[in-house]
Structures are given as C-alpha cells and as structure tokens.
Amino acid sequence: MPKPDGSLSAVVVSGGKQYRVAPGDKVLVDRLSAEPGSEVKMNRVLLLHDGDDVQVGAPSIDGLEISATVIAHTRGHRIDVLRYKSKKRVRVHRGARADLTAIEILPFGGKRKSAAKDDKKEAEEAEPKAEAEAKPKRGARKPRATKTKDDK
C-alpha cells in the first residue's frame, strides 16, 4: 500500500478491479496470462499522484503505462459455500479458490520536482556558451529592411 505522505502512486485497473500502487509494491491480481519473470504493462491508469500534482484520467490517462514484473502464480484462500434447507434433506457444500498472480510494480514516470530541477540545472550548465552567442546584445537594434529599386 502506498504511503499517504505525497509519494508517487497511481490507480490502475487489472481484471476489472482497481488497485492503488506505488513503485516497488507487490500486489496480488486476478490471474494474468504471462509467465513468471516476464513483464506486464497496464495501460489503464485512472489516476497519477505525485506529491501535490494529481492527474485524473477521463477515463484513463493517455500515454501512461505502468509496468510490472510477474513474480508467481498462486491461489487464494479457500471459500466454503454451504447451502442448507431444514426438513428437506438439502445440504450442498461447495468450495472455491481464486487463481491469482503476484506482480511487482516497476518504477514509473511522474514529475519529480527534485529530478526536474536537476535536469534543468544540467541543461543550463551544458550549453551556456551557445545561449550567450545566440542572444542579441542588450539595447542593440534590429537591422531595418531598406527598399531597393528592384522591390516594388
């Protein structure tokens, strides 16, 4: 379960159910047709929460996929269903177990403020000379277009 302190988390849909996930979470979802160790992409992301930034999809966020690694296929706990009618000799005992897949959520995209600041600083440090050459001098006038005899 993601921490409520404003860390990166998302709400995804798998098997018709919604799960709130964060990078590194291990989640049990309905059985997926993927081999253990393979990567699964969930493209139905309903909500992305990153600190103070919240993106809500209508119905899902376009261009955002969350990847997960399949850990193992397991089965859920046994559910007993008993049906009994008094005086009628009706006693039915059935059981069921859900087929589940354990997945681990891989790190996914989001706007990290500190990472965005670091990228911006690196970009500024990488090309300060190119910016200086491209900028016109302060107070310099633009050259005027002059009419020639050929222009009419």
pLDDT digits (tens, 9 = 90+) for 90-99: 999 999 999 9
Q: Inform me whether the pLDDT recorded for 144 exceeds 90.
A: no
Instruction: State pTM to two decimals.
Output: 0.64
Q: Inform me whether the pLDDT recorded for 115 exceeds 60.
A: no
- pLDDT number for residue 127: 54
The confidence band for 52, taking pLDDT boundaries of 50, 70 and 90, is confident
Lowest model confidence (mean pLDDT) among 13-22, 91-100, 134-143: 134-143
Quick one: how far is CA 48 from the chain centroid?
6
Virtual CA dihedral for 28, 33, 35, 37, nearest 10 degrees? -40
| Arithmetic mean of pLDDT, 25-37 | 95
Virtual CA dihedral for 42, 27, 53, 13, nearest 10 degrees? 40
Instruction: Choose among 9, 43, 36: nearest CA to 25.
Output: 9
| Arithmetic mean of pLDDT, 72-95 | 95
